[in-house]
Structure 1
């Protein structure tokens, strides 16, 4: 499978490394607006391939099977369009688009041009998430239905090491809601709280125009609900998910922080017990194996454009709710 890399920023390095580890793909070309960054990516992974500063040149001068799109959020729609209209299959970073309308347009482009496309929603492949899903499957009758899910993320977002385009509303399309909300909403949807119909949210401002610095989202439906919250201040890094069932609970702690110990815990009315059966496979490698399976027509759990679009639709509703200080229908 011949792959062209679109964008050579930080996440492109992570994605290329995982893709090469599958031993199922050949990277044949790289595009990046700043040529030296594309050349640095090629050099790091010993890729003797042409590097372009013009995307059209790369697409038209190489016989590509797949384009791996790693560009800033606001560029996704145009990059997707250029690839789709040339009949090139697509792997694209999350969020799929900066709003639901863009996502719908990409779904239309996929169907109109007869291509396949999938989205990097890496969080669902984390070892913790895979173990949690295994626990749910093995204890389905005992646990019962999902009643509520809470997802908490605290991290210092506005640091010097983060690429500057994240703080430019024109390129990023938004702030933490788009960047990390796409992960958190994917987690709660994937774990079973996707049947909601009302959303209320509040976005926290930041020092950068058009860039939020955190958010709180409450969503509810007839049988389930979820809360998602995120704070980008310089506070201890915290990331955990709690899934409450009719007869028990699963707590996923993604990082140890001096108070909570990283791991997956199964609990009942007597307390939690750690489950020591964590998968060892890397999340990015598992993700790319699933996506290549999908592109090759094999059975796969690769994220679909429809799933990614629903995540962005939820983020849109959260933003609208915050702007209007009102509960929104979903």
Structure 2
């Protein structure tokens, strides 16, 4: 080996080692907002070495101090504005646990700085907001992801594989998705969360947006990002004394050329639930929770049970996924993708309009 070749080999090895060391460093993450109770997921997450919370943007000092006492983080991490947090801590990505209406502002601030953003579901309060966010993400080449609890359910991914990869149930004919609980006040969410979650401006709607988004996300995924032909929604205020400003009961019907989806989002279920039924020409697969399933295929005489595992999902949790994706160690998953969630918000926007007018909304073909 010549001296030049030897030096070239050394350079290559050192570059590989540097790359490996960089990938092992925790992803520097900033937390934007503490008013969404899903923030407990990242604050209470065990230190796995894949992410590091370097800053928190939250103007409500009392809330920040309450959570600091619970989770043990230093108040020196807390800044009153997103801009100051970004300037002082230099995160690579942020996770947004603020009001849904504020997601656009977060992207407006982060995208020009090249900082990736993961928001809690849904992506936006309106299709107009979503389009602005999409434009910013594409212009500044950042990841703009939407987190749903159900993305990390092994059962959903196993159901998708049976329906779409294995085509074990034939062409899809009907998808039914149930999501919700007894109501946010009934399950005792904190006051900061309840305040904005039950406001049509800050949340977009009530149960229609809070839980209708799950079914829109899963249906869009199962239908390979196909936009529905029409959206029909019916909402009710069963508990106007508790939720005077928003709906607490919502049903959305999506029509596709040869498939129908029924989404049932509710703050009136007797128990919390996140499950779905997927029916094909000659079989079905139903998810019960994150792992348990019921399946009946063409050759089955009776229904059988099945179990999924965490390895069927793309990652153990959204933060492990975020770190893996940005490090190039995890392949992109469609459920969190911007393409899927643009369609989700378009569906929700149309559903809100349909519920108001009592008429189905026909979705126009997108302009080329």
SS at match of 1:30: strand
Q: Which of 263, 272, 282 is the matching residue for 2:292? A: 263
Is 1:31 the counterpart of 2:60? The answer is no
| Structure 2: runs of 5+ lacking an equivalent | 1-26, 364-368
Measure, in 2, the Cα distance between the counterparts of 1:193 and 1:115.
23
| 1:300 is aligned to 2:346 | no
Q: TM-score, normalised by structure 1?
A: 0.87
Secondary structure at the residue paired with 2:310? coil
RMSD value, Cα:
2.6
1:194 shift after superposition? 5.0
Q: Is 1:184 equivalent to 2:219 in the alignment? A: no
**1:277 positional shift:** 4.2
**8 Å contact kept, 1:199–1:317:** yes
Q: Aligned match of 1:198 in 230, 233, 236?
A: 230
Alignment of 1:206-225 (within 5 A): 206-207=239-240, 208-225=243-260
- Alpha carbons of 1:304 and 1:234: their partners in 2 closer, same or farther (altered >3 Å)? closer
How much does 1:238 deviate? 4.4
Choose the corresponding residue for 1:152, options 175, 178, 184.
Answer: 178
List per-residue Cα deviations over 1:101-155 (Å, max 9, x = no partner): 1011001111222322212123122122133234346742x42211111112352
Task: Give the equivalent residue in structure 1 for 2:77.
Answer: 50
Q: Is the 8 A contact 1:30 1:42 kept in 2?
A: no
Structure 1's unaligned 5+ residue stretches are 256-261
* Counterparts in 2 of 1:282 and 1:144: CA distance versus 1, 3 Å: closer
Cα 1:108–1:154 shift into 2, 3 Å = closer
Alpha-carbon offset, residue 220 of structure 1: 1.1
Asked if the contact 1:150–1:241 (Cα under 8 Å) also holds between the matched residues in 2, the reply is yes
Deviation at 1:164, TM superposition (A): 2.0
- Asked if 2 retains the 8 angstrom alpha-carbon contact of 1:5 and 1:69, the reply is yes
CA deviation vs aligned residue, 1:211-230 (integer Å, no higher than 9, x gap): 11111111112121111123
Count of residue correspondences: 322
**Structure 1 CA distance for aligned equivalents of residues 215 and 279 of structure 2:** 16
SS of 2:303 mapped into structure 1: strand
Q: 2:347 maps to what in 1?
A: 314
- Tell me the alpha carbon deviations over residues 236-284 of structure 1, each in whole angstroms, 9 at most, x when there is no partner: 44443111111101111129xxxxxx82011146331101344378997
CA distance in 2: counterparts of 1:177 and 1:83, whole angstroms: 28
Q: Aligned pair 1:2/2:52, yes or no?
A: no
> Secondary structure at the residue paired with 1:26?
strand
Instruction: Provide the residue aligned with 1:164 in structure 2.
Output: 194
Larger Rg: 2
